[in-house]
């Protein structure tokens, strides 16, 4: 007996969008102090440089995390496609078997519906 396939359930589109919006909001919140430094003219240049370095480090970390997420999603998509191909092949085999079973059944039904003389 073939192994039982487990269905793939994707999160609703609104959850994906909400997650991305919250992530973007968090990034903006972390960069707002840098904007404040740019608006204050008497800020020491070393503070500005340090803030820029920290912002660049955060951006680099977010980029790394997004790359890891993208790679994980690509792996999930590959698995989904493989599962989909397997299910499509299984469905085709089931449909072919149904067709072969329907031929004798339709012959039996013809015989049963034939008038008795």
Contacts of 30 (CB under 8 A, 6+ apart): 55, 58
Domain ranges of the chain: 13-113
Chain centroid to CA 44: 46
> Tokens at residue 115, please?
């008038």
13 has a pLDDT exceeding 90: no
Residue 10 φ/ψ, nearest 5 degrees:
-95, 150
Segment 18-56, tens digit of pLDDT:
788 788 877 777 777 776 666 656 555 677 778 888 888
| Banded model confidence at residue 100, pLDDT cuts 50, 70, 90 | very high
Greater pLDDT, 115 or 65: 65
Residue 44 φ/ψ, nearest 5 degrees:
-65, 140
pTM tops 0.75, yes or no:
no
Q: Given this model, what pLDDT does residue 37 score?
A: 65
Segment 48-87, tens digit of pLDDT:
778 888 888 888 888 888 888 888 888 888 899 999 999 9
**What distance in Å separates the CA atoms of residue 19 and residue 73, rounded to the nearest whole number?**
15
């Amino acid at each position: 007996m073939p192994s039982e396939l487990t269905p793939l359930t994707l999160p609703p589109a609104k959850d994906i969008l909400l997650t991305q919006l919250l992530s973007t909001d968090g990034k903006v919140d972390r960069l707002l102090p840098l904007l404040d430094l740019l608006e204050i003219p008497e800020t020491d240049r070393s503070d500005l440089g340090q803030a820029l370095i920290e912002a660049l480090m955060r951006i680099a970390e977010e980029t790394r995390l997004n790359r890891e997420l993208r790679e994980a999603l690509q792996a999930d998509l590959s698995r989904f496609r493989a599962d989909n191909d397997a299910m499509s092949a299984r469905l085709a085999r089931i449909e072919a078997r149904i067709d072969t079973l329907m031929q004798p059944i339709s012959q039996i039904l013809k015989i049963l519906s034939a008038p008795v003389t």
